[in-house]
């Protein structure tokens, strides 16, 4: 992603969007949300590895410390249990009356 400048291009989109909405906090929230949604379709380690170059480039362009963006990606990648799609026991808890 870094050799082809794809990370820089996608980070530019996120930068334009986050500057229009709310700056640095919007960038952090967008990285968290996109990573957590990505973990619903691919593994959490893969989502973190895919989103890290984008988040690092976005953090550099917005003058954010790299630790903050790394934590946002790590928390987003670990949040696949929040939606029922990513965790089977959540479905069982939501529809427990249909299991009997």
Q: What is the mean pLDDT of the chain?
A: 82
Contact residues for 2 (Cβ-Cβ < 8 A; gap 6+):
8, 53
**Residue 39 in contact with residue 79, Cβ under 8 Å?**
yes
Q: What's the angle, vertex CA 71, arms to CA 69 and CA 74, rounded to 5?
A: 110
Taking CA atoms, 84 is separated from 56, 79, 90, 91, 97, in Å, by 29, 11, 5, 6, 16
Give the pLDDT score at 81. Answer: 73
* Mean pLDDT confidence for 69-82: 86
Tell me the average pLDDT across 14-34: 87
Using 50, 70 and 90 to split pLDDT, how confident is the model at 32? very high
Amino acid 2: pLDDT? 66
Position of tokens 């362009």? 61
pLDDT at 96 over 90: no
């Amino acid at each position: 992603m870094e050799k082809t400048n794809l990370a820089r291009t996608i980070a530019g989109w996120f930068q334009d969007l986050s500057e229009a909405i709310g700056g640095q906090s919007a960038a952090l929230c967008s990285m968290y949300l996109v990573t957590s949604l990505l973990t619903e379709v691919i593994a959490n380690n893969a989502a973190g590895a895919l989103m890290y170059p984008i988040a690092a480039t976005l953090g550099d362009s917005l003058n954010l410390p790299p630790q903050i963006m790394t934590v946002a990606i790590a928390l987003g990648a670990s949040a696949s249990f929040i939606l029922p799609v990513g965790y089977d026991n959540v479905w069982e808890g939501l529809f427990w009356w249909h299991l009997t």
